[in-house]
Structure 1
Amino acid sequence: MTVESFLKTMKKNKVIFLLDMDAFFASCHMAEDPSLKNKNLVVASPNRRAIVTTASYNARKFGIRAGTPVFKAQEMCKDLYIAYSNFSLYIKYSEQVFDIIYNNFTKDFEVASIDECYIDMTKVWRKYGTVRSAAQALIDMIYEQTGLTCSIGISTNKFLAKMCVDFNKPKGISILLEKDIEEKLWPLSVKEMYMIGPATEKKLNENNILTIKDLALSNLNTIIDLLGKRGLTLWYWANGKGSDQVSREASEFKSIGNELTLNFTTTNYEEIEEIIYEISLKISNRAKQRYLQGTTISIVVKYLDENSNEMYNDKQRKKHIVKQESIQDATNDPEIIYAIAKQCFYELWTGQPILLLGVRLSNLTNEIEKSKQLSIDEIDLSEGIDYNKVNQIIYNLNLKFGKDKIFTGDKLIKYMDKNIVQSKFLKNDDVHISNEQIIDKWKK
């Protein structure tokens, strides 16, 4: 593409950057401790069943990728260095990156995740001579001020910018315009397309849609029949179209949730609580990665029709209930999500065999955009206690050793409430005790 043709395209379109930090979690650890830079570093949670969440580029040379079990990664690379997940560290560097954009380039950016954002450079890039020079200036400034590297995808809409950012990583700049999609986008497998996961890929492949070109040239009604309303969006994207609206208030996520369908039914409350806890951890991690907090926590339950005495089948899997609770202060704390989800579960469960459990965090806000005035009881007057570190220690210990091993005083009442609710099922006891009565008993 010539400079003249690019300028002609840009005159009637927006210039959208997608900034994506390179191996972000691993890079944060290396920026914090430069002695780690040449190590084969991976990031993982501190527990026995941990998987790699991020692999440094050194570790990737051994074939290690996100999702690789840690024990397998250690077999693939004998001198592997494991850094434990530290979201307060990632948040610190994420804020620095977004501050650089805000203070030096433009306020028109949209946070997509903790390590990724869309930037509307339409009114800014000319100061740097060319669009590519503007992108390089941003990459250089981030590296100089944080020690982190990033890559930038450039187009006239968010989807194409997102799709091309991986063309040239790390520390790369890629440009993909609508007129180039037949050459650069269409030959890719559909699984390479943003927002197409394994289930959608399978559906498309079963209908002989193997590449993005196949999707783009398919009959739109066929795609909608296959995938519902989402099919319209994917078909639209495959044809190079997409939104160019960048909003600091926007979030691609209305809610974050996970559900687990069991291979068996269970009424064992310990198994049920363990599942709720594991799902809550996953939701918390996803929310923290996207720098999101929510004020509504929901539990989703499916169970057998209690009036049926026959072995269950798909038609009998019809009891699907949801219970939610809203809180005043937005959170992504796994312990709070777990405590409220568990409380909601016990409020609606009457002992039926459970087929599916899910937890959802909704009414989301972006922590980066949120400003909050501290109340007097939130101000730390101890001058020696870093409560962020305390919460991180509690989180890591519970992640390693299991739920409810360590908790703070403010969770004590919920913990005791849980025991009382459980006694209803363990002892057929319908006695209800108030929080005041519990406190009185503990004082005695």
Structure 2
Amino acid sequence: MKNKKVIFLLDMDAFFASCHMAKDPSLRNKNLVVASPNRRAIVTTASYNARSFGIKAGTPIFQAKELCKDLYIANSDFSLYIEFSEKVFEIIYTNFTKDFEVASIDECYIDMTKVWKKFGSVKRAAQAMIDMIYEQTGLTSSIGISTNKFLAKMCVDFNKPKGISFLLEEDIDKKLWPLEIQKMYMVGPATQKTLNENNIFTIKDLALSDLNKIVDLLGKRGLTLWYWANGKGDDTVSREASEFKSIGNELTLNFTTTNHEEIEEIIYEVCLKVSDRAKKRYLQGTTITIVAKYLDDIGPEVYSNKERKKHLTKQESISNPTNDPEIIFSIAKQCFYELWTGQPILLLGVRLSNLKNQIEQTKQLSIDEIDLNEGIDYNEIEQIIYNLNLKFGKDKIFTGDKLVKYMEKNMVQSKFLKNDDVHISNEQIVNKWKNK
């Protein structure tokens, strides 16, 4: 790997199931599956115990019960999954490198090029990461290692769970090419069918095919797949764009869903995360955007249809800036149902934009806006004063009773007459890893 980048693909093992077992260790030896709590539910994740019975993601619950008589069903809990996902990414950021790219709730690409040497070897660096994640979260993970993201992604399944796998360009003829074409990342049933009809059954068949033929069959996607099959791929690991223009959060599922309750739960959890980030930065926004992505593999026939999109987005603007999760959720949900026509959803995201600093936007209430019958929440006033003083310097603002005591103590020689204007930036206040 000399003079090449070192790219990790970290993949959490049976992530949803593992989160439930990490939260409640008594579940570790059970034949646990995760599913939505409804009669037509399917398995979204199966623990490795449950997989030994032939149960996998997509298996209907009634069939899973037939395969395993003592099946334990855990209801989907996206707040739990997001909580553990954030913990894992925090561990990577704090202890290994800031150069990582979140691919989904349970996967991320990590550029270890400048880091691995301090662990002695690439493999030791990977093992240290796996061990630390387990020690701090109780979750197991596997790592695929290569010089680009595609090869790292392809080899992570070679040795799961708790495994470390390598796939370098010089080894693709032995390790990658023999795989059936449907095992290739981004090749789903429709693409597999098209390739099989043209006598392409393995990744080697694709790699050795005429490039023009593949592009004719699959469009632009064919170009990407052909290069991947030949071991070529992107080695750029990119961090999230600055969130000071907008604050967003997305959740890519490891399954697709059309279940209304499940979709709304995901949107709500994402809105909570967006709201939390905005509040930590003292930011409010007036534009809420919903982002949805449906099944990646939509078939080659779609490439000639310019009206069909894989990404759905809709935004709504409001007059008063907000970071309230209930308001964000209400608008995001409304936008989603205005554009969704029933496609199996793979990704859901929410963005808050047109941001304003909450403290600087705080306005003085007019006498007409104060409800004298309800009284004033002095705790809230104290919090506002605290926030303002935190930003603009201590004792710039205080209540009347404190001003009297202050002037009596200092004989009216207050700090207003002194040059003591200390400012604290938002960045200093919320110096968190996701905000850097």
TM-score range, shorter chain: 0.5 to 0.7
Q: How far off its partner does 1:296 sit?
A: 3.3
Aligned residue type for 2:316: S
Distance 1:71 1:292, change over 3 A: farther
Given candidates 24, 30, 43, the residue that maps to 1:33 is 24
Given candidates 199, 222, 226, the residue that maps to 1:235 is 226
SS state at 2:173 partner: helix
CA contact (8 A) 2:250 2:350 kept: no
1:152 equivalent in structure 2: 143
CA contact (8 A) 2:145 2:151 kept: yes
1:326 equivalent in structure 2: 316
TM normalised by structure 2 equals 0.64
1:212-251 per-position Cα deviation (integer Å, ceiling 9, x unaligned): 000001100100000001100000000000010001127x
CA contact (8 A) 1:94 1:114 kept: yes
Q: How far off its partner does 1:341 sit?
A: 3.9
Q: What is the correspondence of 1:90-109 to structure 2 with a 5 Å cutoff?
A: 90-109=81-100
Aligned residue type for 2:102: V
2:67 equivalent in structure 1: 76
Distance 1:52 1:219, change over 3 A: same
> Are 1:139 and 2:130 matched, yes or no?
yes
Given candidates 327, 331, 335, the residue that maps to 1:340 is 335
Distance 1:256 1:62, change over 3 A: closer
1:175 equivalent in structure 2: 166
1:352-398 per-position Cα deviation (integer Å, ceiling 9, x unaligned): xxxx655989995799xxx9988899xxx99xxxxxxxxxxxxxxxx
1:295-334 per-position Cα deviation (integer Å, ceiling 9, x unaligned): 434899xxxxxxxxxxxxxxxx999899944357899998
State the distance in 2 between where 1:115 and 1:199 align: 25
Given candidates 279, 289, 294, the residue that maps to 1:296 is 289
State the distance in 2 between where 1:185 and 1:318 align: 34
Q: What is the correspondence of 1:398-437 to structure 2 with a 5 Å cutoff?
A: none
Q: How far off its partner does 1:78 sit?
A: 0.5
1:119 equivalent in structure 2: 110
Q: What is the correspondence of 1:190-205 to structure 2 with a 5 Å cutoff?
A: 190-205=181-196
> Are 1:188 and 2:188 matched, yes or no?
no
Aligned residue type for 2:122: V
TM normalised by structure 1 equals 0.63
Aligned residue type for 1:247: S
Distance 1:69 1:92, change over 3 A: same
Aligned residue type for 1:104: N
CA contact (8 A) 1:296 1:326 kept: yes
Distance 1:341 1:70, change over 3 A: same
| Greater Rg by CA | 2
CA contact (8 A) 1:45 1:85 kept: yes
State the distance in 2 between where 1:126 and 1:282 align: 43
CA contact (8 A) 1:31 1:148 kept: yes
1:223 equivalent in structure 2: 214
CA contact (8 A) 1:44 1:53 kept: yes
Aligned residue type for 2:51: R
Distance 1:295 1:256, change over 3 A: farther
Distance 1:13 1:24, change over 3 A: same
1:414 equivalent in structure 2: none
Aligned residue type for 1:180: D
CA contact (8 A) 1:283 1:360 kept: no
1:214 equivalent in structure 2: 205
Distance 1:65 1:357, change over 3 A: closer
State the distance in 2 between where 1:124 and 1:344 align: 44
1:309 equivalent in structure 2: none
SS state at 1:187 partner: coil
CA contact (8 A) 2:203 2:229 kept: yes
State the distance in 2 between where 1:136 and 1:318 align: 46
> Are 1:19 and 2:19 matched, yes or no?
no
CA contact (8 A) 1:292 1:364 kept: no
